[in-house]
Amino acid sequence: MIVFQKPKSLCDVPLHYCPGCTHGIIHRLVAEAIDELGIEGETIGVAPVGCAVMAYNYFACDMVEAAHGRAPAVATGLKRADPSKIVFSYQGDGDLASIGTAETVHSATRNENITVIFVNNAIYGMTGGQMAPTTLPGQVTQTSPYGRDVNHCGYPVKISEMLSQLEGPEYIERVAVNNVKNIRNAKKAIKKAFQNQIDGKGFSLIEVISSCPTNWGLSPEKALQWLEENMIPYYPLGVYKDRSAEKEAAEA
Amino acid sequence: MSEKVLMKGNEAIAEAAIRAGCRHYFGYPITPQTEVAAYMAKRMPKIGGCFLQAESEIAAINMVYGVASAGKRVMTSSSSPGISLKSEGLSYLAGSDLPAFVVNVQRGGPGLGGIQPSQSDYFQSTKGGGHGDYRMIVLAPASVQEMASLTIKGFDLADKYRMTAMILADGTMGQMMEPVELGDVEVKDYDKSWAVTGTKCARPHNIVNSLFLEPEELEKNNFARYERYKAVEENEVLFESYLMDDAEICVVAFGISARVSKNAINEARKQGIKVGMIRPITLWPFPKAPLLAAAGHCHTFLSVEMNMGQMIEDIELAIRCKRPVRLVNRVGGMIPSPEQVLLAIQDADKGGKAS
């Protein structure tokens, strides 16, 4: 009896992620959702620039590599080219919340019928640990060596809160992958984000609070602890917008 | 059946694109090319196509990248400052070997420049613009009819060679009205098995990508791409030769500059000056061979262009600096007058006779 196996939607190749990085978990959750919904053959993924840049080698569906921050625009093109396809982007915080903020906001406000997986680990990982738009106040990084000084470089961008103020998007939820309970919630949210697209409901973004042991300078275990004690209080988990649920509640 | 209609250059591009099977247009407003977008906004919803006004030029070109990845004909249009913004995307399109069609209705620069016609994006379009080694097929129409026919040609070449074809027009070409004949277009089918259309779980996944971290692999890709570019250079050069058989002076001009030059040449011929013109229709690939041949019987070349002298470098290279090439130019949105070109021809004629 098989009790555990690799999702069909993940390729059988070694991932390049650092030991203890939670990208592997998030990849798996996305692949499981695609498997369970039976959409692999119709799905097109868009990879970012950042740590997940080589996600195109890991997901078994058709994949496109976008320029830095432009994944939502590329996904828009793909979806408009063939609305019957299921299109998702997988992006980090630098990609989605800094250089690609305009593409993020406008694909959301158009309620583009795509699914966005937003991995927030408060740092630029691929380039060696620089300050991200989501780096916490006081957090030490390579480019904020004395801690992020909000008077000098401003405050972190809270994407879920920000996007939920727009009329456009269908679904915005923030989850985390630091423990089993949160991982199960994250899976549920990601699957819902794909289901929303299948149902033609529009733009769904799942912000996944994630860790970066390498660039935080912590062991994998300590990193998860730091995430729980520092990230989650600043980035509270939960559903920020669920238009269909709000509509149903209003009608009831 | 072809019918003759009176159209603006920008509208002719839009209608020709639709006839060439383009059903996706993404753009951002900028003068003097807005008629392209306006035409698409009106027509696309009526024919099951997609017109989408993007949040920026950057987003627009990346939407183009998305549709091109899916293997469908797609275009964007803009004017000079907007093309600068799109240049990142143009590099990625090249790096991923995607076919795309892009229109630049040039205005004066640099910076915000002005909104009057210019040809100062010659370097940008023929030498790169974005980063990395790449080329675009650059088509330079000199009439509204050519705005249409080169659009149709551009879509075909883009598919054929898996690269970007660009119309390099200017504000005059975009805005002026002329009769244009639009027929039905036969759209050729090209193999697009590389496109991301969903695996149907029946084939390995396709990946559209420009990242190759192994230098050997990236080099191989560049070499392969340049083999295709070589084929373009060998097969796709377009130019018009005007009164060149006995010419002793060769005017080289494209777009509106070529039309102005033609008037000057006709006047000079009346005065007995043996002058002709080579009008590049493809700026890349550049018509090197006919220019080199002309250097055999022309003592002087005149590069008439609306910039500070950009195409002139390609002329010098093409004729291997065998003859002097003089620049006849106006910039900043100014158009050379036939009188200015005629004076330059007369001057070259005197110089030629003196030497």
Q: Cβ contacts (< 8 Å) between B209 and chain A: which residues? A: 56, 63-65
Q: Are residues B262 and B212 in the same domain?
A: no
pLDDT tier at B183, thresholds 50, 70, 90: confident
Instruction: State whether A54 and B201 contact (CB < 8 Å).
Output: no
Is residue B9 assigned to a domain?
Answer: yes
**What's the confidence (pLDDT) of residue B195?**
98
**Which of B37, B61, B33 lies closest to B169, judged by CA?**
B33
Q: Are residues B228 and B273 in the same domain?
A: no
Q: Are residues B288 and B160 in the same domain?
A: no
Mutate to test the interface with B, among A10, A74, A109 (most CBs of B within 10 A): A74
How do residues A4-20 score in pLDDT, each as one tens digit?
899 999 999 999 999 99
Is residue B231 assigned to a domain?
Answer: yes
Q: Are A125 and A22 in contact (CB under 8 A)?
A: no
B250-269: buried (b, 16+ CB within 10 Å) or exposed (e) per residue? Answer: bbbbbbbbbbbbbebbebbe
Is residue B212 assigned to a domain?
Answer: yes
Interface residues of chain A, partner chain B, Cβ below 8 Å? 11, 40-44, 46, 53-54, 56-57, 59-67, 70, 73-82, 85, 102-103, 105-106
The dihedral through the CA atoms of B216, B218, B221, B222 has a sign that is negative
Q: Are B211 and A63 in contact (CB under 8 A)?
A: no
How do residues A140-170 score in pLDDT, each as one tens digit?
999 999 999 999 999 999 999 999 999 999 9
Instruction: State whether B89 and A80 contact (CB < 8 Å).
Output: no
Q: Cβ contacts (< 8 Å) between B208 and chain A: which residues? A: 63-65
Pairing of strands A204-209, A115-120: parallel
Q: Cβ contacts (< 8 Å) between A56 and chain B: which residues? A: 207, 209
Instruction: State whether B67 and A41 contact (CB < 8 Å).
Output: no
pLDDT tier at A66, thresholds 50, 70, 90: very high
**What's the confidence (pLDDT) of residue A42?**
98
Chain B closest-CA separation from residue A59 CA (Å): 9
Return the number of other C-beta atoms located less than 10 Å from residue A140's C-beta.
15
Q: What is the mean pLDDT of residues B68-79?
A: 98
Alpha-carbon distance A75 to A95, whole Å? 14
Instruction: State whether A77 and B205 contact (CB < 8 Å).
Output: no
How do residues B189-244 score in pLDDT, each as one tens digit?
999 999 999 999 999 999 999 999 999 999 999 999 999 999 999 999 999 999 99
Residue A54: pLDDT above 60?
Answer: yes
Alpha-carbon distance B14 to B301, whole Å? 35
Question: Phi and psi for A238 in degrees, rounded to 5?
Answer: 140, 175
- The beta-carbon neighbor of A41 closest among B60, B68, B198 is B198
Percent of chain A with pLDDT over 90: 98
Interface residues of chain B, partner chain A, Cβ below 8 Å? 24, 26, 50, 52, 54-56, 58-60, 62-72, 74, 88-89, 92, 96, 196-202, 205-211
Q: Are residues B21 and B93 in the same domain?
A: yes
Q: What is the mean pLDDT of residues A76-104?
A: 98
Return the number of other C-beta atoms located less than 10 Å from residue B221's C-beta.
14
Instruction: State whether B69 and A78 contact (CB < 8 Å).
Output: yes
Chain A closest-CA separation from residue B199 CA (Å): 5
Residue A250: pLDDT above 80?
Answer: yes
Return the number of other C-beta atoms located less than 10 Å from residue B2's C-beta.
9
Tokens 């008629």 map to which residue?
B35
Is residue B281 assigned to a domain?
Answer: yes
Is residue B194 assigned to a domain?
Answer: no
Residue B34: pLDDT above 70?
Answer: yes
Q: Are residues B267 and B342 in the same domain?
A: yes
Chain A closest-CA separation from residue B75 CA (Å): 11
Residue B265 tokens read as 């040449």
Q: Cβ contacts (< 8 Å) between B199 and chain A: which residues? A: 40-41, 60-62
CA A248 to chain centre: 27
Nearest CA in chain B to A64: B208
**What's the confidence (pLDDT) of residue B354?**
56
Question: For residue B172, what is the domain's CATH number?
Answer: 3.40.50.970
**Which of A21, A215, A26 lies closest to A117, judged by CA?**
A26
Structural domain total, chain B: 2
Is residue B85 assigned to a domain?
Answer: yes
CA A137 to chain centre: 21
Tokens 């080169």 map to which residue?
B150
**What's the confidence (pLDDT) of residue A252?**
84
How do residues B134-180 score in pLDDT, each as one tens digit?
999 999 999 999 999 999 999 999 999 999 999 999 999 999 999 99
Q: Are residues B215 and B272 in the same domain?
A: no
- The beta-carbon neighbor of A73 closest among B66, B196, B202 is B66
Chains A & B: contacts with CB separation below 8 Å: 133
Return the number of other C-beta atoms located less than 10 Å from residue B322's C-beta.
13
Q: Are A131 and A153 in contact (CB under 8 A)?
A: yes
Residue A134 tokens read as 């989501």
**What's the confidence (pLDDT) of residue B128?**
84
Instruction: State whether B206 and A67 contact (CB < 8 Å).
Output: no
Q: Are residues B116 and B179 in the same domain?
A: yes
Tokens 């072809």 map to which residue?
B2
Residue B14: pLDDT above 70?
Answer: yes
Instruction: State whether A60 and B198 contact (CB < 8 Å).
Output: no
Q: Are residues B52 and B160 in the same domain?
A: yes
Q: Are residues B259 and B142 in the same domain?
A: no
Alpha-carbon distance A135 to A119, whole Å? 13
Is residue B227 assigned to a domain?
Answer: yes
How do residues B94-127 score in pLDDT, each as one tens digit?
999 999 999 999 999 999 999 999 999 999 999 9
Q: Are residues B72 and B17 in the same domain?
A: yes
Instruction: State whether B196 and A40 contact (CB < 8 Å).
Output: no
Return the number of other C-beta atoms located less than 10 Å from residue A55's C-beta.
24
Q: Are residues B137 and B207 in the same domain?
A: yes
Q: Cβ contacts (< 8 Å) between A42 and chain B: which residues? A: 198, 200
Alpha-carbon distance B259 to B339, whole Å? 13
Instruction: State whether A67 and B92 contact (CB < 8 Å).
Output: yes
Residue-range domain boundaries for chain A: 23-251
Q: Are residues B37 and B158 in the same domain?
A: yes
Alpha-carbon distance B69 to B194, whole Å? 8
- The beta-carbon neighbor of A64 closest among B58, B60, B208 is B208
How do residues A174-206 score in pLDDT, each as one tens digit?
999 999 999 999 999 999 999 999 999 999 999
- The beta-carbon neighbor of A82 closest among B56, B62, B70 is B70
Is residue B161 assigned to a domain?
Answer: yes
Residue B268: pLDDT above 80?
Answer: yes
Topology of domain A23-251, CATH: Rossmann fold (3.40.50)
* Structural domain harbouring B39: 3-189+199-235
